[in-house]
Structures are given as structure tokens and as C-alpha cells.
Amino acid sequence: MGQASFGAGLVLVLAAAVAIPAMAQAETLTITAPEDKVFEAQHTYTALTTRDYGTATAFTASGEAVTPTHDAPTAFPLGSTTITWTATTPTAEKTATQTVTLRDTRGPYITVPPCLTFKATGTLTPLTSSDYGTATANDISGVRSLTNNAPPAFPVGLTFITYTATDKLGNKFSKNGCVHVVDEISPMITVPAPRVIEATGKNTQLSSSDYGTAEATDPTTASPTITNNAPAEFPVGVTTIEWIATDGSKNSSSRTQLVTVVDTTPPTLTPPPTVVIEASAPLSQLSVTDLGEATSTDSVDPTPTVENNLSEEGLGKGIHRITWNATDDSGNTRWATQVVVIVDTTPPVVTAPRAVVINSGSPVSSSLVDIGAPTVVEAVGLSGPPTNDAPATFPVGETTVTWTATDTSGLSGTATQKVTVVPNQTLRTVTPPSALTTKTNGFGNALAHSGDLLFVGNPLHATPAHKKVGAVHVYGISDGVLDRTLLYSSETQHQYRHFGGSIAVVDKSGGGSAIAVGARGNNADGKFVGSVQIFNPETGTHLRTINNPAASAGGGAGVGDAFGAFTASLGDKIVIAAHKYDDNGNNDDTSDDKSDVGRVYVHDAKSGALLHTIQNPDAQSNDMFGMALSAFEDDTGEYVYVGSRKHETKNGAVYAFKLGTADRLWVATAAPGTTDTRYASEAIVPDGLGGLFVGEPHKQPSATRVSKVHHYDSDANSSAISAHSCCAREFGSSLAVANGLLYVGDRHAANNVGKITAYDAASREYKGAFTNPGTSKHFGFVLEPLGGTLLAASEYSSTTKTSSVHILDLASIAGTRLPAASAASGAAGGAAAPTLDPPTLLSTSHGSGTIALTYNVDIDPFEVDLDDYDLGTAHAAVSADVSGKTITLSYTADAADAPNPTANMVGDLGRYIIPGGSP
């Protein structure tokens, strides 16, 4: 037998052909049935066709094909079915059989429930078929059983359920279903309680043994994974640790724990050791250097703040306890105490006043001598003012005065001072000629010398016909004898010429010296136009007149300029100031006019020709540029120094010019805000080395004000000399340089007696002083070096209202000789007395036979003259009395019923006005 496969899973089983006996005498037929077939049953009855089980074949003997028939059913039951195939001809019929078998070898068909997802309720989640469904099975033979292997509880994840069906023939078939259990429950985490831990450093190392361990539970994972973000080191303060628990399904939950690291430990502190400190003041100001340094360490803060309670007011003598505090960044503080002992073992350091030299041939009462006061340096304080053992009367010769100062600790210091009464310092005194005794208060207003001749200017000299014409008296220096008196040139005389207000020694034609005499007052060109007269000093011959260049324009030009009030020598040149020159700007427009601007001219001394005009670089009204004047010549050029009463908003200025250059070299001014000094408006003088001394006396008398003398080098670098005693009110009002010394006059020093102080001109070191032994003498208001150790000094007596000039030999003041300056140094020119702002009349009041004139400033009696006022033809002034700011004129009238007069000032008040105080 054999088999063959067909479609639809049918299997045909072939059987061997069976021969069918021929019918007697019938036609021979042959028939061949298909082979037996075996098919897998699809149903209880399975439909088959010949296509499934085949077709028989039949042939006659002749080979003719005969189509067989069969009795096969349309649907075959399970088991074997025989199909009979029959071939028939008219004469014959032949059959053959085929067996078709339908068998059931497959298991039942199973339908499983869909795969469902369930949320886990634990490690194993109980489920039944009511949860996940029931499978069904079908089989043509009938289902004997249907089973599965589902567990009673399912783990998390995908679980396959195998369903097995067995038919009645024992055929089995299995099919898988599934159950998906998912875990969506996060673990439950429990974190440690908050921890507070003491810091061990700026960052504190901690582990779970310090801050604890979290715990977690999970219904599906027996031991969830626990992690945290704790740092290895914790800073001071609060740190939040996040704990995370993660189960096997990656479900996680987190909670935080607070770990607070605190610093409650104060720093260590070691104070400085006990110190003993010498007192430096009644309350000694101490520093860390004095106390020493405290040391402090802290486990957290590398630099704790260390402070102490040392008083800002300082510590007095005695034992003090200083509290030191060390504070870290967390505010923890530790304190410790240091002992500080302030002791006073140093006696006062006493510096005696400078030596005093008095000119007198007999003992001098100490009440008349200002020996000064010592300087005492004492840390703790004095028990009282310094004392001295000065005698009631200083004998002729040297007296040693011992000054003693005792401090509050009982310690004393001493220093000595030399007071010397020298009878021969004033060699001689020259006075006005006897014929001029009523007009002497201008005598000495200007000084100059040439050889053995001393020229004394008296700008207030009068003649019977002319008031204040002026004169220059010529004396022998060696004998003090009047040689001659120089008057204004032979031109028509005019009152108020003020001839002799300035004097300068210049070169003359043919060699030798000439003197240039300023006459700032009236002349043929008008009031106070001014001029300069040149004389031969040896013969008194008038050589030439230098007129005010401004007056050449005519029409009143130059009036009021005061040309010649100040002069200075450059050898063959004469420098002349017109300090009241008016700048009229555009002559057609008065809006830009400026009064008293000032101007300086340089003339050829031999010909009188104008060489240079120096204009005020910063011209403003009332500057009075040229109010002080000086000149100097060396190998580098010719220099002119010009003082100005003010400069912009400042009180006073000095300008340096070099002839032949276009602009000023430099300008120096008084300190900003200075309003009560006469900086650069009274005295300026070259130092002989290319520099300049500038006086700055004060206007007002005050024991607290100290006048100064400023020094400027060629580049205007400055230094200053202050008056060496508190009451030097007009220190610097007159200056002179000679023999390496700077002489500084102060006519009001020592109770208006007057003093001359000497300094080294190069180093400005104090060298000595000369105090006039007289009283109320206003000594030293003009100074003129005469060569060697000789010095001429003008003096005015407020008692007798007369002036004189002393020739002093100051050999006791040792100078340092400097290289000789050019003969054109202009020292004589610097001796001219400056003119201050004219006073302003505030009010006029009349009494019986008197008229009182009150001005804005105090008036010095030295300046007042009856000739200054014109009371008209009906009245004549007979006396003048000065008190402070008021001048009271007494007069006579031609008739008893004459009206009150009007006082018209025809002179001027300038040189000795002392604004703000009594002279």
C-alpha cells in the first residue's frame, strides 16, 4: 500500500488493485480504483470530493476508456468508508473499491481569554479565572477535559497560563494565555529625625553614623534600594538631605532630612602681655603697636574678629585694663583682659626763647623788654605756667635767664636764654634838619644808599608855599652829618608832589651812580600823575626827569596813576610802578573801564627812554598792580617782581617777569580765603640767589594771628617763615637782604616798640633779633642794608610825632656771606614804603569849632597832617587828633556866624592805614 497527500489536509491511502473476474462471455473490462485515502477530519462529517479522494479509471480490451461511477457520500463520517467504483459497458460491468478513512488526530481548538493587566497587591497577587477569564475548547470528537496551570497568586510581571484541552480520542492541544501584574505602588520611606551637630571646622565631615539611615518598605520589593545626596562635608548652617527609596519596579519615593551644623564654640583668645608705656599726652593715644597683638583661633572661622575697648580719648596715667574680644563668624565671643600701665618718667622739654639783644648803654627794666616765652613739650601736662629767674633790671652785658617748667608728675625741665644789653648797636641816629621839625612824620619813608651816602626820603616835606612837596636828605653814613637836601627839579613847584616817596640807586652816564627819586603826586600834568627825577648824588645836580608815559596822550591821561610811588633798580635801568593806573578800555565806552588796575614801566636810567611796559596780566579794578616792586639781575637775565593788592578773589599776588620774554614766569597768591593780610602789597625783596621773599603782615592786631614771610625759588616753589612770637602783627611789613641775611621788620612788635629779626637768607634759620629799647617808636618800618653789618632802620615816635633813622651795627647777628649779587639787585628800591588802600569817609559830624571825620578803617596818626584837608577860605585847621577810625579837626573861623566847614581832602592817606585795629 502507499499514500498520497491532497489539499485540505487529506491523506489518501492507496490500496492494491483488485482484479474483478470477467463475466462469462462478457467483454473484457479493466477498472482501477483510486488508492485508499486517509484524511484528517474537519468536522463530524467532512465533505470530500473526487478532487480529494481521486477517480477510478476503466478501459475495454480495445483500450477504450470507460467512465466509472461510484457510491461515495458527499460527507464522510469518522472512520472508514468504502467507495465502490463501477465501470459498465453494454456487454460488461466491472467494479473496484476504494477505502476513505477520516481520522481525528488533532487536539481540541482552544480559545483563551485576552491577556489582562492587574495592579499588584503584594509580592504575589491572588487572582482567579473570574479575574483573568476562562478558556473554551471545541473538538469534533468532543472535549473530554480542559485544564490550565494558573497559579493562585501571580508575581509582578507577565505570567503565561497554559490551557490544555483533551478530546475524547485523547488528542490534546495546549494554548497560552497571560496575566500581566504591574507594580504602581511606591515604597514607603522613613527618614532619620533632624540632627543638630557641632561643627568641627569650616566644613564638617559627617556620615550616616552621624545623621542616621533611612528605612523603606514596599509591598512588592522586600528591600527597596535607598540612596541620598548627603555631601561628604557639611558647612555651618542647615543642609537638606534628600533620601530616595526605589523598588524593583523602579517606583520611588523621597523625603528630606534636615542636618544643622552649628558653631557654638567661642574662639580661643590670648591677649597681649602687660605693657608699660611712657605717657605721650595727658590722655595718651595708643595704637595696636603700643598694646601688642592679641591672637585668636577658631575651628570654623580662620580669622576671628579681634577688638578691644581702648578709649578713643586715650589713657591717663595709671593702671588700665583693656578688654579684648574675639568674635567668630557665628557670633561666638570670648574675652580676655590685658593690663596697660601708663607712666610719666619724662620731664618737660623746655626750649627757651631766642636770645634777645637790647640796645642800651644803661640797665634796662625787664618791664620794657619782651623776652618772649619758652616752648614746652610735655606729655602729661604742666602743673603751672613756665617760670623764669629774669631780674627786675637787665644790666649791661649778658644775663642768663633760666626757664623752668614742672609737669603734674613733679618732673621739671629747664632751659636757658641769653639776654644781652649792648650799648653800641645803634651807631648813630639821623634826624630831619631843624628847619623841618614841624614836617618830620614823613622822614625815613624811603631809604637808599650809595657809597657813604644815605638818602632819606621825606615825601611830606613842605615849604611855606607848598604842602607835601617832598625832599630827600643826604647824610654821611660814617658821621651822620647832613650833606645836602634834594628837592624836586627846578620846574614849577606843585604841592602834594610827595617827592622822595621812593628812591633807587641806578647807573649814571659816564660811570658811577645816580639816584632816581619818585614823586608820585601832582605835577604840571595834573593831580598824582607822577614822575621820577634823576640826580647826581654827590653833587645834587638834577640830571633828568622821567615823566609818566601815560600822560603823553594828553587830555587828562595819567591823572591819578601815582607814577613813581615805587621804584626798583636794574643798574642801567629803572623800574617804575604806576599802581593806580586806570584801564579805560574802549575810550568811547565807559562800561569796560577799570580803575586802579596798575602798570609797571622800565626806563633807561641814563636816557630816560621807555624800554618796556609791563601790564597787569589779570587786570581787575583795585588790583593796584605795582603796589610793591623789586628787581634782580644775574647771568640768566633781568627779573622784575611786582606785587598786587589782590588777584581775582584772593587777597594779594606777586608776579615774576623776565625782561625780553612775552609772558610772566610765575604768579603766587595769598592762601584762598585770605582777607586780613597784606600779602605782597608792602614788601618784596630778592634773596640774592634768584629767589624772592614776600612779606605777609596782618591788617588786624590779634594775639592769635601770626604774620609770615614767604620764600619762592626761581620755579615758584615756596616755603614760609612765621613770626617767632605770638604777637608779631606786622612781621614782614619791611624786608631787606644783605650779607647772607634776611632782615624782617615789625614796627608794632613788643608793644609798638618795633623789632628787627634776622634769618639766614638761604636756610631761613633764625639768627637773631634787635628790639628797640624805646617805647611807642614804631621802629623798623623801612630797612636799608648799608654794607657789612650795618643796617639803617626808620623809626616813628607816636609820642613826639617825629621820625628818625638809626644806623645799626648788628655784628652780634652772624650772617653767612652769599655770592655777591649784581649791583642792580634793587635792594634799595625794595625799601620804598608801600601805599595801602585809601580810607573811605563814612560820616562827618560837627561840633563847636570841630569837625569829626569817621573812616572805614583805623587811621595811624603818623599819616595825618593838617595840610591834608582844605576847610575853605573862611576856616583854618589848627590841630588834628586821631582816635581809631575818627580824625577830629579843630578850626578857627573868620566870623562867629560862619557856616560849618566842609573838609575836602587834598592830600592822601595811604602808607600807615591799619585796617581793623589801632596802630
713, β-bridge pairs: none
The residues, any chain, with a CB within 8 Å of residue 874's CB and separated by 6 or more, are 893, 894, 895, 898, 899, 901
The confidence score (pLDDT) of residue 796 equals: 85
The three-point CA angle 588-594-596 to 5° equals 130
In this model, does residue 600 exceed pLDDT 90? yes
Fold category of 188-262 in CATH = Immunoglobulin-like (2.60.40)
The confidence score (pLDDT) of residue 704 equals: 52
User: CB–CB of 183/120 below 8 Å?
Assistant: yes
How much of the chain exceeds pLDDT 90, in percent? Answer: 53
SS3 for 868?
Answer: helix
User: CB–CB of 582/620 below 8 Å?
Assistant: no
Q: How confident is the model at residue 367 (pLDDT cuts 50, 70, 90)?
A: confident
Which DSSP helix (H) or strand (E) runs through 401?
A: strand 397-406
What is the DSSP code string of 223-265? S-EEEE---SEEESEEEEEEEEEE-TTS-EEEEEEEEEEE--P
The residues, any chain, with a CB within 8 Å of residue 896's CB and separated by 6 or more, are none
pTM: 0.53
How much of the chain exceeds pLDDT 70, in percent? Answer: 85
- CATH class held by domain 427-831: mainly beta
Comparing 195-199, 200-204, 537-541, which segment has the lowest mean pLDDT?
537-541
Cα–Cα dist 647/650, whole Å: 5
Cα–Cα dist 768/161, whole Å: 132
The confidence score (pLDDT) of residue 364 equals: 84
In this model, does residue 830 exceed pLDDT 50? no
User: CB–CB of 226/256 below 8 Å?
Assistant: no
Cα–Cα dist 218/176, whole Å: 31
User: CB–CB of 601/646 below 8 Å?
Assistant: no
User: What tens digit of pLDDT does each residue of 233-291 get?
Assistant: 999 999 999 999 999 999 999 999 999 999 999 999 999 999 999 998 889 999 888 99
The confidence score (pLDDT) of residue 71 equals: 94
Mean pLDDT of the chain: 84
Q: Starting from the edge strand earliest in sequence, which strands make up the sheet with 779-787, in order? A: 426-430, 802-809, 790-797, 779-787
* Mean pLDDT score, 385-400: 93
User: What tens digit of pLDDT does each residue of 869-915 get?
Assistant: 777 767 777 777 777 778 888 877 766 667 787 777 655 554 333 33
**Residue pointed to by grid coordinates 487529506:** 10
Q: Where are the domains of the chain?
A: 2-103, 109-182, 188-262, 268-343, 349-422, 427-831, 841-914
User: Does CATH number 1.20.120 belong to domain 349-422?
Assistant: no
The residues, any chain, with a CB within 8 Å of residue 698's CB and separated by 6 or more, are 676, 677, 678, 705, 707, 729, 730
96, β-bridge pairs: 85
The confidence score (pLDDT) of residue 258 equals: 97
User: CB–CB of 406/384 below 8 Å?
Assistant: yes
The confidence score (pLDDT) of residue 731 equals: 87
633, β-bridge pairs: 638
- CATH class held by domain 109-182: mainly beta
What is the DSSP code string of 613-672? EEE-TT--TT--TTSEEEEEEETTEEEEEEEES-BTTBS-EEEEEETTSSS-SEEEEPPT
The confidence score (pLDDT) of residue 833 equals: 37
The confidence score (pLDDT) of residue 671 equals: 76
User: What tens digit of pLDDT does each residue of 27-73 get?
Assistant: 789 999 999 999 998 888 999 999 999 999 999 988 899 999 999 99
Among candidate residues 734, 821, 790, 831, the one with its CA nearest the CA of residue 516 = 831
In this model, does residue 437 exceed pLDDT 50? no
More confident site: 311 or 20: 311
More confident site: 24 or 635: 635
Q: How confident is the model at residue 295 (pLDDT cuts 50, 70, 90)?
A: very high
- CATH class held by domain 268-343: mainly beta
In this model, does residue 716 exceed pLDDT 80? yes
Q: Please check whether the two domains, 109-182 and 427-831, share a CATH topology.
A: no
User: What tens digit of pLDDT does each residue of 622-680 get?
Assistant: 899 999 999 999 999 999 999 998 776 667 899 999 999 878 999 998 876 666 778 88
* Mean pLDDT score, 390-407: 94
